[in-house]
Structure 1
């Protein structure tokens, strides 16, 4: 399915390159025509999801979301009064790509829960923080107040979604992970619609809110970056597990509405996408730094304190800073004003040694299975504890309690 820019009769043509981007010519030299594909995608949203959201005023927010959930759980034909926009969305969602093999993905990731402790740390310190080094990509969080308001709640929401799409059966057509991913897609569209009528959104500088280019980079944040970070701290997945991770996120990208021209199939294509993103990303601003300070202060430091021995708990801030510098590199860490620490070098030296230890342990299927069972139990206990400590009972923001700052996904904006 080709994605086309939504027509607008009263809006002047937008420039080909958002003014906030940098080093575009460097990107062209490295990546040729794909760079233009990426730049064009800065002006593209998600026409199918955006069309459904455009029907929300007529349907009513609550009714529209109930229709969406019913279509996920029972199929679009069960929604007798579904608008054509929702039917068109589910024609795409129900059109299973011929390259998808869920059975192979689940078989090859059977024992990945053995690293649940490490992957939870990497989610915050690598995956989420990497996205905060882009002032345009993080701007929707600023304008909706979603992260500074409650860093812990949003991190739990993301972690719960990732757990759901990784469980056996999670990506089946009526699985929990499938529904959550479709809801994430509609949340993006609701935020996009809200920001496009917000005077604070500078489209000439930033392109379309939650544009195709940055949606595609989401796959890098949750595949290439964490797989690399896990190796850096000595918790490497096996080659077949990594291949399955790229396959899983290719399908998730399809469900999220990422156009095939941008949807990376493997590590090489994700590396190219990451390189363009890093070259052209707008400069870090104070809000980016506030985001990092918030997730560190409110979430990562307390979590690291919980896994360190008693006498070392006071070192948790330094451990978080060391991990972020290791994962992000000095250039981005300096822009985000993450303090330098010698502990980064210590972790960088220990990582390869732990890789050798864990590679040896992974040679034995019984070891992988035993550790995976322990990791799965840890993950369940950790989620229950986090939800209890942070008072979070919902899954995604569209189901979060009202109160505090309004959010377009809840239908309490405007």
Structure 2
């Protein structure tokens, strides 16, 4: 597959809507009506631009091949493994994305991840919960609305960054199709890989359903069909291709990983949760990506991390939860 063409492509429908909002109603983003537009059964405000209302109505329907039982099974799988899935997202998926040098530049220059890593983590966790928990796409769920807001946030970021003086054309378009596909794989394929590293026996059917569930989310986020893979083998091939093209050491990736790591470590020191953050990141990411991101750890913490992984594997056998898994998760409206 020729991925280069996808680096020059954003999300034309969403980009067109953002152009209209920025021209006619830029104050929308900070309004209470937009901030509180959070549940699937809420209707768009009739004062909003007609292009936005049309965009919302067109993108709140599941594809015809979205089988209710498959969605339900994946939502149950998420609920069962939620603590470990969120752990993988924070210690594996996000730093994994930072290894893609050009994609990391967008995250770096938007400043949100460097200056407010805690807020970004909460937003990410909230998004994942909104789209994954049981009933996410029912009338009382939040799935459609959270996906809508993330999709338009991506378009708004492209709107601001693509014409900035620092942005170089050879980096591609900010938040382009290839980068969006890579991020979707980080939240699906990489999470599955992380779960297995932590001892979860993911069945073949569970793996396929989980991947296709995130394919659905990717579709609703505006990722082109050619970049949405139907099975694990195809997803692995795309992941390897993207990594080969873009994974390398960068100042931006190193700083983003350091900010994320520092925040999680501080949060754990202030709570009942005490995990060796750097050691677990290094274990999940592997030595090659860890070196790219300057993730180092002491011999002692490596032993602690191995002990945690061993306990996690035992947990899967006996089906019991640890204290750290019982922590309440903060949620925010996107």
* TM-score, length of structure 1 as denominator length: 0.70
Structure 1 residue runs without a partner (length 5+): 1-33, 362-366, 388-393, 397-414
Is 1:325 the counterpart of 2:325? The answer is no
CA contact (8 A) 2:74 2:213 kept: no
* Contact 2:21–2:49 (Cα < 8 Å) also in 1: no
The 5 A counterparts of 1:241-280 are 241-280=206-245
> RMSD between aligned alpha carbons?
3.1
Q: 1:383 maps to what in 2?
A: 329
Return the alpha-carbon distance in structure 1 between the equivalents of residues 204 and 303 of structure 2: 26
Does the aligned pair in 2 maintain the 1:227–1:236 contact within 8 Å?
Answer: no
Say whether the 8 Å CA contact 1:234–1:353 is kept in structure 2.
no
**For the residues of structure 2 that align with 1:54 and 1:173, how far apart are their CA atoms?**
29
Does 2:46 align with 1:96?
no
Aligned to 1:8: none
Residue 86 of structure 2 corresponds to residue 129 of structure 1 = no
Q: Tell me, what secondary structure is at the counterpart of 2:227?
A: coil
Do structure 1's residue 120 and structure 2's residue 125 form an aligned pair? no
1:61 alignment counterpart: 26
The verdict on how the C-alpha distance between 1:118 and 1:236 changes in structure 2, with shifts beyond 3 A counting, is same
Residues 292-301 or 157-166, more deviating: 292-301
The alpha-carbon distance between structure 1 residues 111 and 195, as it changes in their structure 2 partners (threshold 3 A), is closer
**Partner SS state of residue 55, structure 1:** helix
**Conserved? CA contact 1:73–1:179, under 8 Å:** no
Check the 8 A contact 1:223/1:245 in 2, yes or no: yes
Distance 2:141 2:197 in 1: 33
Alignment partner of 1:162 out of 128, 131, 136: 128
CA deviations on 1:206-238 (whole Å, 9 max, x unpaired) are 100000001011111111111111111223444
- Contact preservation (8 Å) 2:99, 2:253: yes
CA 1:348–1:169: 2 relative to 1, 3 Å:
same
Return the TM-score normalized by structure 2: 0.86
| Cα deviation code 1:138-177 (max 9, x no counterpart) | 2222222101111111101100110111111112366312
Q: Deviations over 1:6-46 (max 9, x none)?
A: xxxxxxxxxxxxxxxxxxxxxxxxxxxx1x1x211000000
Q: What is the DSSP-based 3-state SS (H/G/I as helix, E as strand, rest coil) of the residue aligned with 2:329? A: helix
Which sections of structure 2, spanning at least 5 residues, go unmatched? none
Q: Distance in 1 between matches of 2:34 and 2:86?
A: 33
Mapped partners of 1:293, 1:51: distance in 2: 35
Deviation at 1:268, TM superposition (A): 1.6
Mark the CA change 1:360 to 1:208 in structure 2 (over 3 Å): closer, same or farther. Answer: same
Partner of 2:195: 230
Seen in structure 2, the aligned counterparts of structure 1 residues 347 and 199 have a Cα distance that, compared at 3 Å, is same
Counterpart selection for 2:294 from 296, 320, 337? 337
Counterpart Cα distance in 1 of 2:154 and 2:71: 26
**8 Å CA contact 1:232, 1:348 repeated in 2:** no
Alignment of 1:195-234 (within 5 A): 195-203=161-169, 205-234=170-199
Following the alignment from structure 2 to structure 1, what is the Cα–Cα distance between the partners of residues 12 and 119? 29
1:395 matched to 2:333? The reply is yes
Distance 1:173-1:327 versus aligned 2 partners, 3 A rule: same
Offset of 1:304 from its aligned partner? 7.2
> What residue is the counterpart of 2:50 in the other structure?
83
Give the total of aligned pairs: 329
